[in-house]
Amino acid sequence: MTSVIVAWQRNSRPTGDNSAYPARTPKAKLVDMSTAQQTSPSATGSVPTLAISVRDLRQSYGTFEAVRGISFDVAPGELFALLGTNGAGKTTTIETLEGFRRPSAGTVRVFGVDPYGQPPELRERVDAVLQHSGLFEELTVAETIDLSRDLAADPRDRADVLELVSLTDKADVAIRQLSGGQKRRLDLALALVSRPEVLFLDEPTTGMDPEARHATWKIVSDLVSEGVAVLLTTHYLEEAERLADRLAIMHHGEIRVEGRLDDVLTGWGDRIGFRLPERVRAEDLPDLPGADRDVDVHNGEPWVTYTVTGEDTAGRAHRALATLLAWAGERAVLLERLQVRGASLEDVFLDVAGGGVADLARD
């Protein structure tokens, strides 16, 4: 866990919770998990089938409970996105899995091992890109990579790592002269030096421009395809949509929604939306079969959204739309910018953040 060790020297006390397209193939070979999965027994002598296991985890700061009994698993070769509002408990959860915090209650395991204190059997198998990396500003990029390589048992070549994150031309540049996005790419490079089997990514693309962000997505996708288990936290919902095999959304320390993206979106139904017509009051709008109505301001305009849920969502949406069009036709009402679409991850996230149907997902 070399990059975490470097960061730990600068920040011994972690902060609290503050919170597929073509590309070149990297020359550096990514992790081959075929042997590791078969020859890495847990403390009990059995071979764990999960890279990460969290059961009923609770974390408290005095009387404040930041994480409230969450459970989830991450398998080798899977990317699990842990999303949530600021202060939801994401960073606290990751810090616990990284071994910085002992659980207040519940258990966490990485390849069957308790990660607290970063035991030796995990240090070469786990690495992280933290929100606050603690890079030594006076060192050059190359010197920083070499320091990390000195701490790894089987490090990648410096040139390969720099090429992987497109920092070859910055090798002799002092870290203090790098942009914020370049520093984040260096953080990722440090995490890749040790060839980790589990990788924690805490807001990895913050400060990156779109090109660098997409390049990082490609690197992470390649790691997952080679068998690395990745736990990602991000505020970029598009990032989770592109990368995640499964995801969970936290709010107030609890997991409110969990599953594969398609399953999550299906459960949130279809949306029928349009601009509220002039001379039509919200209370005059029709009740549509199988749909809930909401009137709000969208881009400075009054906007109507009908959310259609339940079994046979597509059929329900068609019936609701037919009813709406019949109502508008009878009254000669123009429905401007009428649209019918499936739920987006942003819809789900905002519902969770604001309560609403998120409470249904908990039950």
Report strand pairing: 270-275 vs 229-233: unpaired
Kindly state whether residues 282 and 254 are assigned to the same domain.
no
Q: Quick count: other Cβ atoms within 10 Å of Cβ 20?
A: 8
Percentages (nearest 5) of helix, strand, coil residues in the chain: 35, 25, 40
DSSP state of 175: G
Per-residue pLDDT of the chain in tens (363 residues, 90 and over written 9): 544 434 333 333 344 444 433 332 332 333 333 333 333 444 444 555 899 999 999 999 999 999 999 999 999 999 999 999 888 999 999 999 999 999 999 999 999 999 999 999 998 899 999 887 789 999 999 999 999 999 999 999 999 999 999 999 999 999 999 999 999 999 999 999 999 999 999 999 988 999 999 999 999 999 999 999 999 999 999 999 999 999 999 999 999 999 999 999 988 889 999 999 999 999 999 999 989 999 999 889 999 999 998 777 678 899 999 999 999 999 999 999 999 999 999 999 998 988 544 333 333
Kindly state whether residues 314 and 251 are assigned to the same domain.
no
**Three-state DSSP string of 184-246:** HHHHHHHHHHCCCCEEEEECCCCCCCHHHHHHHHHHHHHHHHCCCEEEEECCCHHHHHHHCCE
Kindly state whether residues 244 and 151 are assigned to the same domain.
yes
Kindly state whether residues 282 and 222 are assigned to the same domain.
no
CATH number at residue 281: 3.30.70
Kindly state whether residues 237 and 276 are assigned to the same domain.
no
Q: What angle do CA 3, 5, 10 make, to 5 degrees?
A: 100
For 118-178, strand residue ranges (E) read: 126-129
For residue 360, being part of any structural domain is answered with no
Nearest to 103 by CA among 62, 146, 165, 56: 56
CATH number at residue 99: 3.40.50.300
For residue 351, being part of any structural domain is answered with no
For residue 362, being part of any structural domain is answered with no
Nearest to 285 by CA among 309, 320, 255: 320
> Any bridge partners for residue 5, and if so which?
none
Kindly state whether residues 129 and 213 are assigned to the same domain.
yes
For residue 355, being part of any structural domain is answered with no
The label of the residue with tokens 């995990």 reads 122
For residue 147, being part of any structural domain is answered with yes
Query: Which run of H or of E encompasses 56?
Result: strand 52-61
For residue 357, being part of any structural domain is answered with no
Kindly state whether residues 309 and 207 are assigned to the same domain.
no
What is the distance between the alpha carbons of residues 303 and 312, in angstroms, rounded to a whole number?
Answer: 25
- Which domain covers residue 106, as residue numbers? 2-264
Q: What total number of domains does the chain contain?
A: 2
Kindly state whether residues 170 and 297 are assigned to the same domain.
no
Kindly state whether residues 158 and 307 are assigned to the same domain.
no
Strands of the sheet containing 254-259, edge to edge, are: 126-129, 198-202, 229-233, 79-84, 246-251, 254-259
Kindly state whether residues 10 and 79 are assigned to the same domain.
yes
Report residue 193: phi and psi, to 5°: -55, -45
Kindly state whether residues 319 and 189 are assigned to the same domain.
no
What is the distance between the alpha carbons of residues 200 and 14, in angstroms, rounded to a whole number?
Answer: 15
